[in-house]
């Protein structure tokens, strides 16, 4: 449903743009419709917009869009406040409950969340509130296992992330919710990292110190997002993969420790160039495939990598005024390059 709604909203936006453009052409006397043509056109467009608004709950006018955005912000903040209140309520009275009652609440909470998602999905077309309830449900499942671990003093394990990731992915595919897919991919990436660390004989939370353990997950996400059938989920796989990979390379190129048995300084240099190279590669791939998200992510991280390198190479010895002058010049060159890229994407 979210796919279809997005298509419908895009169509409504195109119709609105068409109307505005037609008005401009008529004003400039380039194209003037007869009264009959105008009436038929308006009747058709009005009927189409009404149908789309009825079927997909899309915003027909700009002011409707602004109100929808406002509603989304208010409902998100309200939901967050409600969840915080419920959490703090339990935090305050949790210790007064008997252990079996605590266990029952922990197990029941995500199940109630699932029921809420199903109830909401049957009553709304856009699945906006279903997505919010979904995020809360995943949070409840995370709390479920964390608090159980605290109640019984269990030694922590990365396998909890497998359960959380799989849960979020099930919900993402059941209700076609991209946010939940992103959450699931993060959870599964942490599980892969923790399991890799345990296999290497380490204490699993130290996987966060070895960002290489995230590169495999990043590559898998990008490859899957590239080769799978193109839809909104494939874009989410790619975006999560790029973000995971770029952040890992940023950590590895600055202060992170590595699994590789070589001089850490040399390893960091290799990862610094790998970061710049992969960001450039992402931009190239995004242009070829017309993936705006990939181009923007690649461009953003290329800029970040460059800034970090410049600071690392020049900050200590270069006069500060010269550093900022050169940085400004580089920014101007990058802006010109991105403008060319944008023009090339528009042309294709």
Partner 1 sequence: MKRGLPAAVALVVAANIVVLAGVAYNRSRVVERIELTEFELGQNYAGTDNSGISLRFEWTQGSWPYQSNWLSEERLKEAGINLPPLPPQSVEWRIPLPRPIFVALEIGGESWQKWRDEYMKKQDAVAPNMRVSLPRTRLISVDVARNPESLRRKYPDAAKHIIVRGVLRLSPGISQDRRSWQAYISELVPDSIHVPPPFTDIFRPLKFEQNRDTPRYAVTLCFGIRYEPWIESVRRL
Q: Where along the sequence are the contacts to partner 1 (CB under 8 A)?
A: 88, 91-99, 103, 106-107, 110-111, 114, 118, 121, 141, 144-145, 148-156, 163, 166-167, 170-171, 173-175, 197, 200-203, 206, 209-210, 257-258, 261, 263-265
How far apart (Å, rounded) are the C-alpha atoms in residues 15 and 7?
Answer: 12
Whose Cβ is closer to partner 1: residue 91's or residue 321's? 91
Indicate the helix (H) or strand (E) that contains 171: helix 159-175
* Least distance between partner 1 and beta carbon 234 (Å): 19
* Least distance between partner 1 and beta carbon 222 (Å): 25
Look up tokens 């856009």; give the residue. Answer: 126
* Least distance between partner 1 and beta carbon 155 (Å): 5
What single string gives the DSSP state of each residue in 41-92? HHHHHHHHHHHHHHHH----SHHHHHHHHHHHHHHHHHHHHHHHHHHHHHHH
Under DSSP, is residue 18 helix (H, G, I), strand (E, B) or coil?
helix
* Least distance between partner 1 and beta carbon 306 (Å): 24
Whose Cβ is closer to partner 1: residue 196's or residue 278's? 196
Whose Cβ is closer to partner 1: residue 68's or residue 206's? 206
* Helix spans in the chain (H): 2-27, 35-56, 62-93, 99-123, 128-151, 159-175, 178-199, 212-227, 232-254, 264-289, 292-314, 320-347
Q: What torsion do the CA atoms of 344, 345, 346, 348 make, to the nearest 10 degrees?
A: 90
* Least distance between partner 1 and beta carbon 290 (Å): 31
Whose Cβ is closer to partner 1: residue 53's or residue 163's? 163
* Least distance between partner 1 and beta carbon 92 (Å): 6
Do 280 and 287 contact (CB within 8 A), yes or no? no
Do 207 and 213 contact (CB within 8 A), yes or no? yes
* Least distance between partner 1 and beta carbon 120 (Å): 12
Whose Cβ is closer to partner 1: residue 19's or residue 268's? 268
Do 222 and 237 contact (CB within 8 A), yes or no? yes
Widest CA span of the chain, in angstroms? 80
Whose Cβ is closer to partner 1: residue 163's or residue 304's? 163
Whose Cβ is closer to partner 1: residue 95's or residue 319's? 95
């Amino acid at each position: 449903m979210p796919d279809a709604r997005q298509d419908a909203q895009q169509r409504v936006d195109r119709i609105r743009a068409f109307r505005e453009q037609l008005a401009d052409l008529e004003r400039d006397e380039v194209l003037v419709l007869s009264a009959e043509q105008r009436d038929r056109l308006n009747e058709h467009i009005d009927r189409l917009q009404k149908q789309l608004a009825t079927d997909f709950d899309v915003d027909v006018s700009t002011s409707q869009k602004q109100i929808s955005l406002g509603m989304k912000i208010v409902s998100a903040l309200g939901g967050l406040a409600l969840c915080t209140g419920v959490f703090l309520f339990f935090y305050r009275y949790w210790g007064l409950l008997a252990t079996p009652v605590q266990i029952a609440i922990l197990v029941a909470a995500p199940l109630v969340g699932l029921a809420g998602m199903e109830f909401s999905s049957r009553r709304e077309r856009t699945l906006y509130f279903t997505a919010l309830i979904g995020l809360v449900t995943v949070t409840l499942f995370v709390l479920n296992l964390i608090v159980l671990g605290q109640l019984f003093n269990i030694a922590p394990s990365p396998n909890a992330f497998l359960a959380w990731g799989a849960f979020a992915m099930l919900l993402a595919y059941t209700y076609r919710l991209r946010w939940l897919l992103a959450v699931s991919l993060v959870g599964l990436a942490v599980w892969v990292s923790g399991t890799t660390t345990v296999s290497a004989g380490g204490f699993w939370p130290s996987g966060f110190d070895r960002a290489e353990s995230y590169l495999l997950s990043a590559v898998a996400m990008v490859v899957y997002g590239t080769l799978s059938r193109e839809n909104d989920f494939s874009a989410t796989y790619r975006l999560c993969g790029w973000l995971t990979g770029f952040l890992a390379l940023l950590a590895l190129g600055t202060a992170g420790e590595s699994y590789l048995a070589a001089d850490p300084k040399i390893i960091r240099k290799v990862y610094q160039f790998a970061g710049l190279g992969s960001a450039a590669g992402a931009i190239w791939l995004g242009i070829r495939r017309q993936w705006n998200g990939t181009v923007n992510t690649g461009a953003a991280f290329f800029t970040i990598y460059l800034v970090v390198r410049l600071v690392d190479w020049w900050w200590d010895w270069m006069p500060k005024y010269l550093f900022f002058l050169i940085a400004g010049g580089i920014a101007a060159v990058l802006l010109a390059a991105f403008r060319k890229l944008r023009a090339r994407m528009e042309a294709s």
